[in-house]
A and B are shown apart, each in its own frame.
Chain A
């Protein structure tokens, strides 16, 4: 009896682990200091055309901090600016446009668009924004020769970061000597986008790495449960 029940419990836990929660999907934005973040958050026109919207930052404690919110509930387009934060609500187009200017490294973190109706809990809109602000020259610099001059005068650590970003259409983990040699090649900074990379999040990571990580995660969970079930068999078996 005990054995059967324990097995059932483990089986149920196993199944529940496999089901993913339906949470808003997270998008990663990687920008350089000084650049501007632009995010589009769609919302349901039927439900939220006449609702207030807000842009919040999720602090390390998990608490949300409201940075800026709209006030109009008329259903007409409205804009609101609070320092570096700008919100444009276009109810007729079911879209909330968010802008954060003059980005600083400290701005890196998790943000979200929400429907703001205190004291009720806010309704979270998709996508969740994972912002990463890096120091130094812009990631997508269009002038290769300027970059060459800048790179040669910067200390080695910064050089490595920049050269790997600019010179690695394939992998992010290039060795420093190799990438330094690549700087003088004509292909510098020109061919940033490559079909084998995941560019939709603005962050270049080879697909194969992601696939391997996902497979390892899934396999490790099911292996753990299989082992647990095996152990149950042994300890409660005849």
Chain B
């Protein structure tokens, strides 16, 4: 190989290295279609407390309830969770900021701006709570659900709702609980933003 060719090759590799270098990067945003409240026929939220943006923490939990793997059943499942939180627990709205279904879709809960009821008095004020619908002690969510969650978080950064240096925590890292389930907890520990 002639010297200029080799030099060019190294220069290109250097540029490629630039692209790959730095701290482990967030996955590229593939898409972020979020199923809005109107679509799952959510009653109006009665919640008033706002989050201070940008938020620095994301808490991942599971609902520990039934999973759902198609849009129709997930729509019903979100409504079930909402009914339980507002009816039985008497909260102002479904507790989570976003819910993830095994159909690979993100369901809008309280959204980016409103304080949720998902983790506890300290963490609700400083974090976005996302919950995977299902029980993940012995099963893992399918890759499309994990992709949807990662996409959502990358979107949050792009929108300025999440700090570019946000940290992901498992629910069991900050509260005494089994949530988000052994299998899902193992998975989120491999996420680039996870920080114990």
Q: How many A-B residue pairs have CB under 8 A?
A: 78
If A15-B17, A19-B21, A126-B195 touch, whether A226 touches B174 (CB-CB below 8 Å) is no
- Which residue from chain A places its CB closest to the CB of B57 in the assembled complex? A42
Asked if A85 CB lies within 8 Å of chain B CBs, one says no
Contacts of B7 in A (CB 8 A): 226, 229-230, 233
Q: Which of chain B's residues have a CB closer than 8 A to the CB of A237?
A: 3
Which of A65-73, A91-99, A134-142, A181-189 is the interface stretch? A91-99
B6 at the interface (CB under 8 A from A): yes
- Chain B contacts with A in 78-115, Cβ cutoff 8 A: none
Q: Is there an interface contact between A20 and B22, defined as CB atoms closer than 8 Å?
A: yes
Contact partners of A93 in chain B: CB under 8 A: 120-123, 174-175
Q: Are B11 and A40 in contact (CB under 8 A)?
A: no
Q: B122–A14 contact, CB under 8 A?
A: no
- A19-37 CB mask vs B (1 if < 8 Å, else 0) is 1101001000000000000
Known: A126-B195, A237-B3. Contact between A14 and B173, CB under 8 A? Answer: no
Contact check, A230 vs B17: say whether CB atoms are below 8 A apart. no
Flag whether B37 is at the interface (Cβ < 8 A): no
For chain B, residues 57 to 79, give those with C-beta under 8 angstroms from any C-beta of chain A: 57
By the criterion CB–CB under 8 Å, are A14 and B172 in contact?
A: no
A218 at the interface (CB under 8 A from B): yes
Which residues from 147 to 196 on chain B have a C-beta closer than 8 Å to any C-beta of chain A?
160, 163, 165, 167, 169, 172-176, 195-196
Residue of B nearest to A26 (CB): B165
**Per-residue 0/1 for A192-231: is the Cβ within 8 Å of any B Cβ (1 yes, 0 no)?**
0001000010000000000000000011001101100110
Within the complex, what minimum Cβ distance (angstroms) separates A229 from chain B? 5
Q: Which of these, B15, B56, B173, contacts A45 with CB under 8 Å?
A: B173
- B126 at interface, CB cutoff 8 A: yes
Task: Specify which of A17, A46, A47, A94 lies most central, judged by the most chain B CB atoms within 10 Å of its CB.
Answer: A94
* B176 engages A222 (CB within 8 Å): no
A95–B124 Cα distance when bound, in Å, is: 12
Knowing A229-B10, A237-B3, the reply to whether A42 touches B174 (Cβ < 8 A) is yes
User: Contact at B172–A222, with CB atoms within 8 Å?
Assistant: no
CB distance from A112 to the nearest CB of B (A): 15
Chain B, interface residues (CB within 8 Å), range? 20 to 34
CB pair B15 A222 closer than 8 Å: yes
A18 touches B17 (CB 8 A): yes
Question: Min CB distance, B25 to chain A, in Å?
Answer: 10
CB contact between B14 and one of A14, A44, A47, A92 (< 8 Å): that residue: A14
Complexed CA–CA distance, A15 and B20 (Å): 10
CB <8 Å contact, A200 and B54: yes
Asked whether A234 is an interface residue with its Cβ less than 8 Å from the other chain, the reply is: yes
With A44-B196, A45-B172, A226-B10 in contact, is A18–B20 under 8 Å at CB?
Answer: yes
**A233→B3 contact, CB < 8 A:** yes
Q: Report how far A22 CA is from B190 CA in the complex, Å.
A: 13
Known: A25-B165, A225-B14, A230-B7. A46 touches B22 (CB 8 A): no
Which of A19, A42, A46, A230 has the most B CB atoms < 10 Å from its CB?
A42
CB distance from A39 to the nearest CB of B (A): 12
Would you call A18 and B54 a contact (CB within 8 A)? no
Please tell me which one of the listed residues A14, A94, A195, A226 contacts residue B175 in the complex, with CB atoms under 8 A apart: A94
Say yes or no for A90: interface residue by CB 8 A criterion. Answer: yes
* CB–CB B173/A46 < 8 A: yes
8 contacts between A and B (CB under 8 A): A14-B17, A15-B17, A94-B173, A218-B22, A222-B15, A233-B6, A233-B7, A234-B3
A contact set with B: CB distance below 8 Å: 14-15, 17-20, 22, 25, 40, 42, 44-47, 90, 92-95, 126, 195, 200, 218-219, 222-223, 225-226, 229-230, 233-234, 237
Beyond A94-B175, A218-B18, A222-B17, 7 extra complex contacts between A and B, CB < 8 Å: A92-B120, A126-B195, A226-B11, A229-B7, A229-B10, A234-B3, A237-B3
Closest 8 CB pairs of A and B: A18-B21, A93-B122, A94-B174, A222-B14, A20-B23, A229-B10, A44-B196, A226-B14
